[in-house]
């Protein structure tokens, strides 16, 4: 048990995790962390490549006795999802994370921790810095923008690599070996706004839904948690059936790959109707609490008067289309795997809704382990967009990682786990985007696995990682590298 951060950072992995936690690394803001990795390599006279996408590749020669072993590619990503609790004063562009220990878990303070995927970076740096860990030749690649577009991995030049063994360190369950993952695509439906003016009798109110757990839009999609944007759509639709009101603004969520925890709308309502609105809000709060009593019992709804310097509101047609989009854009599990029990095959997440001066954006993260199923969900999104008069933007399309039953690196990790712990490791697939699929497309014959320690509530301010699991997984990882010696 570690009593404080000073003790914890005596361990080489947490030493480096603490160092990178002091560096801003939101997706798209990776210059500082990328430069840090380059300096790290240069200070140790290691070969290093930094490309235009800010990916960093660091190479280290084999230790004595491992010169004949196959080269190993080790991969993780340097960016993190940056979310914080409402009211938390933290600037992700410049402020270091405030790490804290609770029991045997490591947290940040009211923000995401970035263990996804800072633990991979810490493992890689600890290995590259070591002088006493036996290993084959290493090609370490730390990518950018994994959490948003995977553009970093997509931009990597495969000619930099000679290895055919690929170890990804972006898994989140100790004692499990990941061997397959879903592909994904980011789809945005853009609705043009026609503006009108609220009546002089109407007053601005903020309607807000909050208190939801959120979570990773792949890993947590089957947990039955509430999506604040979808709940907002239901409430707005019901209000419109009985109470005249106008909408000036709708928004919800921060990241397309996170289930949105909060959503709000600015409404113009006649003061004579506000009691009816409050009654409806109370009714719907109880409805949502009942529906989500096990998965998301903290859901709450509030309505309060606010100042507004503008009386511009959506036209009646835009209002109808916006509410329809919130209702009909799908969210949640679309299909379960028929081959792997309990595995989500296909899903979609309405993760972000934003209002600009001219448009409303509805951002969706679509995932599937079957390419044709993913394409069909995109087609459905386009069809709905056509009905509503939306423009469709498609980006961050990344491939699935198909299961390889003949994987030799999978077999090796299974053997070393059995040797070290006296039991079998669980071999799993995951409904989330892992960069293995991108690299497998780039490098013919690549043989890949993914592993990592126990992490909880990633992509939320309650994210935490198990300290003993992180150390255990590190020891398993380097034990397997040691077994790669060719006699």
> Which residues are paired to 156 by β-bridges?
none
Which SS3 state, helix, strand or coil, does residue 213 take?
coil
Which SS3 state, helix, strand or coil, does residue 139 take?
strand
Does the annotation mark 447 as catalytic? Answer: no
As given in the structure block, the two tokens for residue 306 are 């606010």
Q: Are 367 and 357 in contact (CB under 8 A)?
A: no
Alpha carbons 333 and 349: distance in angstroms, whole number = 9
Does the annotation mark 146 as catalytic? Answer: yes
Alpha carbons 278 and 271: distance in angstroms, whole number = 11
> Which residues are paired to 267 by β-bridges?
205, 247
How many CB atoms sit inside 10 A of residue 445's CB?
6
As given in the structure block, the two tokens for residue 74 are 């080790």
Q: Are 456 and 206 in contact (CB under 8 A)?
A: no
Q: Are 301 and 284 in contact (CB under 8 A)?
A: yes
- Catalytic residue (one of 26, 30, 79, 172): 79
- Label the pairing between strands 165-168 and 72-77: parallel
Alpha carbons 441 and 443: distance in angstroms, whole number = 6
Radius of gyration of the chain (CA): 24
What kind and span of H or E run contains 128? helix 115-129
Beta strands in 211-320 (DSSP E): 215-216, 245-252, 258-259, 263-269, 300-305, 312-314
Alpha carbons 115 and 451: distance in angstroms, whole number = 13
- Catalytic residue (one of 30, 116, 139, 146): 146
Alpha carbons 34 and 350: distance in angstroms, whole number = 31
The separation between CA 229 and the C-alpha centre of its own chain, rounded to angstroms, equals 18
Q: Which residue has the tokens 């382990």?
A: 369
Task: Cite the active site residues.
Answer: 79, 146
């Amino acid at each position: 048990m570690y009593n404080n951060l000073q003790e914890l950072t005596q361990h080489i992995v947490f030493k480096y995790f603490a160092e990178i936690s002091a560096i801003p690394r939101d997706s798209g803001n990776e210059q500082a962390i990328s430069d840090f990795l380059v300096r790290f390599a240069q200070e140790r006279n290691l070969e290093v490549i930094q490309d235009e996408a800010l990916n960093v590749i660091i190479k280290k020669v084999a230790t004595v006795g491992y010169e004949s072993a196959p080269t190993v590619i080790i991969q993780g990503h340097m960016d993190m999802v940056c979310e914080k609790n409402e009211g938390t004063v933290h600037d992700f562009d410049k402020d270091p994370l405030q790490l804290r220990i609770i029991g045997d878990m490591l947290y940040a303070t009211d923000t995401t921790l970035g263990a996804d995927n800072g633990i991979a970076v810490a493992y890689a740096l600890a290995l590259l810095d070591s002088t006493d860990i036996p290993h084959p030749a290493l090609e370490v690649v730390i990518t950018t923008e994994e959490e948003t577009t995977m553009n970093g991995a997509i931009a990597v030049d495969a000619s930099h690599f000679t290895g055919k063994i690929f170890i990804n360190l972006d898994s989140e369950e100790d004692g499990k070996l990941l061997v397959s993952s879903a592909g994904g695509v980011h789809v945005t439906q853009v609705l043009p706004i026609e503006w009108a003016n609220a009546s002089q009798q109407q007053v601005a109110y903020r309607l807000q839904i909050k208190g939801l757990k959120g979570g990773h839009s792949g890993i947590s999609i089957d947990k039955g948690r509430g999506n604040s944007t979808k709940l907002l759509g239901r409430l707005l639709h019901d209000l419109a059936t009985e109470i005249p009101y106008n909408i000036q603004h709708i928004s919800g969520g921060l990241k397309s790959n996170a289930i949105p925890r909060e959503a709000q709308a600015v409404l113009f309502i006649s003061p004579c109707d506000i009691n009816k609105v409050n009654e409806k809000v109370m009714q719907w709060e109880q409805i949502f609490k009942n529906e989500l009593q096990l998965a998301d019992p903290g859901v709450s709804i509030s309505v309060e008067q606010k100042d507004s310097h503008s009386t511009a509101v959506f036209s009646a047609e835009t209002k109808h289309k916006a509410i329809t989009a919130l209702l009909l854009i799908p969210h949640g599990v679309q299909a379960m795997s028929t081959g792997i029990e309990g595995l989500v095959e296909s899903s979609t997440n309405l993760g972000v809704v934003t209002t600009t001066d001219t448009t409303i954006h509805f951002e969706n993260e679509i995932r599937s382990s079957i390419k044709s199923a993913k394409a069909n969900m995109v087609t459905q999104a386009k069809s709905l967009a056509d009905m509503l008069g939306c423009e469709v933007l498609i980006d961050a399309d990344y491939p699935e990682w198909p299961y390889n039953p003949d994987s030799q690196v999978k077999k090796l990790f299974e053997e070393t786990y059995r040797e070290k712990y006296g039991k079998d490791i669980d071999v799993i697939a995951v409904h989330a985007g892992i960069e293995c699929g991108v690299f497998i497309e780039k490098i013919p014959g690549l043989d890949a696995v993914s592993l990592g320690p126990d992490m909880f509530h990633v992509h939320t301010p309650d994210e935490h990682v198990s300290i003993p699991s992180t150390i255990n997984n590190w020891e398993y990882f380097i034990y397997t590298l040691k077994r790669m010696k060719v006699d």
